[in-house]
Structure formats: structure tokens, C-alpha cells
Amino acid sequence: MKFTAKRVVVSVAVAGIAVVGVGATVIATAADPVSPEITSPAPAEAGHGDEGRYTTGDYVLNVHELDDDGAGVTTAIGPHTTYYSKTLHGTGNRRHTVVKFSAGPESDAPIVFSYPVPAAGRAVYCVATGTEAAPQVRCETTALPAR
């Protein structure tokens, strides 16, 4: 194979585009990762199937239930509170796919944790601990109770 200046330039350009594309995907994923779903063997609380249960620690927790387009519902939950969300799986024609959390009184604070919305018929329980400066959120998916 004969290497010409034109072939070298085209090869370098194609390689550069591939590197930029892969790099952008890695950066986007690292900036907003979604934690893997964790399934609990314990059933959901009776009367709260298909809901999200969010328990806060010593700070305000902002819960963002969002669809693939980033639209959805944001709820600020006060310190030491448990909140049940009936909109976990969406409202109307919108289906939520991810729950994101931020800490503090500002609803647009940086996202500190993301968790996938489970399939219909399953609930998600999330507990926030730590401090507003160093928040920690842990979530798990539960099945509906046996009837």
C-alpha cells in the first residue's frame, strides 16, 4: 500500500474524530453517572407500591424524577423527613427513567447521585445521609408485597 499525503491526512482526520467522539462520551458519562439498580429482597411497604420513598438526613434533599429528555418533577424535602412520591413512574404521557438527587435549599444544586427508575410494579427506597457539604444517597428497588 502506497502512503500518499492525502491518505495520511484523511487517516489522521478520521482517527481524530473517533478520539473526540469517544472522549465526549466518556466525559458525559463521568459527569452524570447513574448508579446501578440494587434490588432488595424485602417487599415494598403495603399501600406504597409503585412509589418512591425518600428519607432525608440533616439537610434539604432535592429529588428530581426525570424522563429521557430531562423533564419531570422536582421536590424539595426538608431535613429528617420521609416523603412518598406517587409520580415515580411519570405523569400523563411522560415516563420517568431516572431519579437524581441534589443537596441544599437550591433546586439547581449539583447532582450528587442518580438512580434508575425501576419497572412498573416496583418501588424505590432512597435514604440520604452525610452532610449537605458531603451528601450520601443510597437507593434500592423493592417488589410489591405478595397478596
Model pLDDT for residues 5-16, shown as the tens digit of each residue: 556 455 555 444
Distance of alpha carbon 107 from alpha carbon 66, whole angstroms? 14
Q: How confident is the model at residue 39 (pLDDT cuts 50, 70, 90)?
A: confident
Q: 3-class DSSP state for residue 123?
A: strand
- Domains of the chain, residue spans: 1-31, 52-143
Distance of alpha carbon 40 from alpha carbon 52, whole angstroms? 14
Q: 3-class DSSP state for residue 94?
A: coil
Model pLDDT for residues 85-109, shown as the tens digit of each residue: 999 988 888 899 999 999 999 989 9
Q: Are strands 72-77 and 82-85 parallel, antiparallel or unpaired?
A: unpaired
The mean predicted confidence, pLDDT, of the chain is: 81
- Region label for 94, one of left (φ > 0), alpha (ψ between -120 and 50) or beta (otherwise): beta
How is residue 101 written as a grid cell?
438527587
Q: Higher pLDDT residue, 45 or 63?
A: 63
Q: How confident is the model at residue 147 (pLDDT cuts 50, 70, 90)?
A: low
Task: Return the pLDDT at 100.
Answer: 97
